[in-house]
Amino acid sequence: MMTRTFKVLSALLTYPSVELQQAANELRDTLTAEALLPAAAARAVSLLIDEIETGDLYDLQERYVFLFDRTRSLSLHLFEHVHGESRDRGQAMIDLQNVYAEKGLEMGSAELPDFIPLFLEFLSTRPRTEAYELLGQPVHILAALAERLRKRDSRYEAVFRALLALASAKPKREQVTALLQEPDPDANDLAALDQAWEDEPVQFGPGAGDSCKDTLIASVRAGRRPAPGMPAAPAFRTILPNR
């Protein structure tokens, strides 16, 4: 049985678009119909939907870019938070993509499998117990993202609190603390952002294959996946130096 609540949460983490704004009532109705979220979590998500529905689209898009594209500590790519630039990230990507393929989820050629909206879309297709168990695996990452968004007084925190409420596992304090000790620069601090996004130099020649592969994977960080069932939003990028 499809769990459409995951589709709603996936949609809310995609780049804001007119189509997403117009789907606000459908998103609310879906959450109400399934009634999977605790009352407090459901209210918080509803406030985010209200904000997206009524906000100025340009402001919503700019905020999204500042939060999720310009701030590495808020990256919507799960493996960014555990593997960084290491070659382990490349193998983790391949493994996750293989899981999707085995279960029948098709990915676009420009998509990265660890993009949280894509991961949630995959969960929506799985039996609910299995989905909750899979969601529990990166639960410490979700908790760290929720805390960082709380510090920024962002309503996007609600999505991650909702996911924590659904996950079968609870985050371990020491794992969350370790993630929160990583640099968390303000999106307006360009010098700190440059340092946080600085990539390892690309190596050429014998033995450079894996390094080049991982650098290429890491450079495609801001891929846009449209909200489920909606057309892709227009591209909106902020280009950062040395990224």
Mean pLDDT over residues 160-169, rounded?
97
What is the C-alpha to C-alpha distance for residues 44 and 33, in angstroms, rounded to an integer? Answer: 17
59, two tokens: 């402001």
Q: What angle do CA 134, 182, 122 make, to 5 degrees?
A: 20
What is the C-alpha to C-alpha distance for residues 171 and 47, in angstroms, rounded to an integer? Answer: 25
pLDDT reported for residue 139 = 96
Predicted confidence (pLDDT) at residue 72 exceeds the cutoff of 50: yes
Per domain, the residue ranges of the chain are 4-219
Q: What is the pTM of this model?
A: 0.76
Residue with tokens 């968390």: 184
pLDDT band per the 50, 70, 90 thresholds, residue 12:
very high
pLDDT reported for residue 80 = 84
Mean pLDDT over residues 103-122, rounded?
86
45, two tokens: 């998500």
Residue 28: what are its φ and ψ, rounded to 5°?
-60, -45
pLDDT band per the 50, 70, 90 thresholds, residue 188:
low
CB distance 134 to 3 below 8 Å: no
pLDDT band per the 50, 70, 90 thresholds, residue 171:
very high
**Residue 104, by phi and psi: left (phi above 0), alpha (psi -120 to 50) or beta?**
left
Range ranked top by mean pLDDT from 66-75, 93-102, 142-151, 224-233: 142-151
Predicted confidence (pLDDT) at residue 96 exceeds the cutoff of 80: yes
Residue with tokens 């499998």: 113
CB distance 4 to 227 below 8 Å: no
pLDDT reported for residue 85 = 58
Cα dihedral across residues 66, 67, 73, 75: positive or negative: negative
pLDDT reported for residue 205 = 35
Length of the chain counted residue by residue: 243
β-bridge partners, 77: 115
